């Protein structure tokens, strides 16, 4: 067993995480490749993420050579908060191993009570205050890039938004796949390629990004279009390979 906690007060929660996770009162928020559940502990709510148990080769890799997704989620969250970027506050992670193999892992964070995802805004052309939200979202993305944060899974379901009287608060989740690096224009636009297939929205976001960054709007949109085409080709090839396996 291997674990880290942000405060010793949470050691009891982390050590008993399987019991909390499997409790009948826990609420499943998401279940596909990984499973997210909402649990109660000490009169507060927390989100627990159970990562899919890896195949045999990765059981060895994660046991001896590579940090688990749970550990990376914890470490990246701490680094983001240190940079002043919103992500649900990390509580801790825990790994369960045998002598030779990595078995399973859990990541625990505070519950971020969001109002909607950026997905809802991008899908609904009549979403209230849509244009302003997209502008604020691009400003948030620009801040990420300037601080050297490349979120590999920067997709519509991983950007949460709280609405306040004074504006909007953006928070990113699913942060285990993240790089910290210097951005050029290509990487800035590549970061936005998973958000929307709608060309008008992509044009709007690229042009507003150009405006706040004092860059050429035509150049940025051309770069974004190139990445969108490459990403679409990747998805099509992935789908084709999957159908061949089936």
Tens of pLDDT along the chain (246 residues) come to 899 999 999 999 999 999 999 998 999 999 988 999 999 999 999 999 999 988 888 889 989 999 999 999 999 999 999 999 999 999 999 999 988 899 999 999 999 999 999 999 999 999 999 999 999 999 999 999 999 999 999 999 999 999 999 899 999 999 999 999 999 999 999 999 999 999 999 999 999 999 999 999 999 999 999 999 999 998 888 888 777 765
Torsion over CA: 30, 32, 36, 37 (sign): positive
The pTM score is 0.93
- Regarding whether 128 and 80 lie in a shared domain, the answer is no
Whether 231 and 127 share a structural domain: yes
Query: Using an 8 Å Cβ cutoff, are 114 and 171 in contact?
Result: yes
**Which of 110, 130, 161 is where one domain is finished?**
110
Quick one: three-class SS letters along 149-197?
EEECCCCHHHEEEEEECCEEEEEECCCCCEEECCCCHHHHHHCCCCCCC
Alpha carbons 177 and 174: distance in angstroms, whole number = 8
Same domain, 144 and 210: yes
């Amino acid at each position: 067993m291997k674990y880290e906690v942000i405060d010793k007060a949470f050691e009891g929660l982390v050590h008993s995480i399987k019991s909390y996770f499997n409790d009948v009162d826990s609420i499943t928020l998401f279940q596909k490749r990984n499973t997210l559940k909402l649990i109660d502990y000490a009169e507060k709510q927390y989100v627990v993420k159970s990562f899919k148990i890896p195949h045999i080769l990765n059981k060895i890799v994660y046991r001896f050579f590579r940090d688990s997704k749970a550990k990376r989620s914890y470490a990246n969250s701490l680094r983001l908060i240190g940079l002043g970027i919103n992500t649900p506050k990390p509580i801790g992670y825990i790994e369960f191993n045998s002598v030779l193999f990595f078995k399973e892992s859990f990541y625990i964070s505070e519950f971020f009570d969001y109002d909607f995802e950026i997905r809802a805004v991008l899908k609904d052309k009549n979403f209230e205050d849509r244009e302003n939200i997209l502008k604020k979202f691009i400003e948030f993305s620009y801040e990420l890039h300037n601080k050297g944060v490349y979120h590999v899974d920067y997709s519509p379901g991983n950007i949460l938004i709280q609405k306040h009287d004074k504006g909007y608060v953006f928070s990113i989740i699913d942060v285990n796949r993240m790089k910290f690096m210097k951005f050029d224009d290509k990487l800035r636009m590549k970061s936005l390629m998973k958000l929307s297939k709608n060309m008008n929205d992509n044009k709007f976001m690229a042009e507003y990004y150009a405006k706040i960054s004092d860059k050429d709007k035509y150049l940025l949109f051309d770069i974004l279009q190139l990445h969108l085409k490459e990403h679409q080709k990747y998805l099509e090839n992935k789908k084709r390979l999957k159908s061949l396996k089936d």
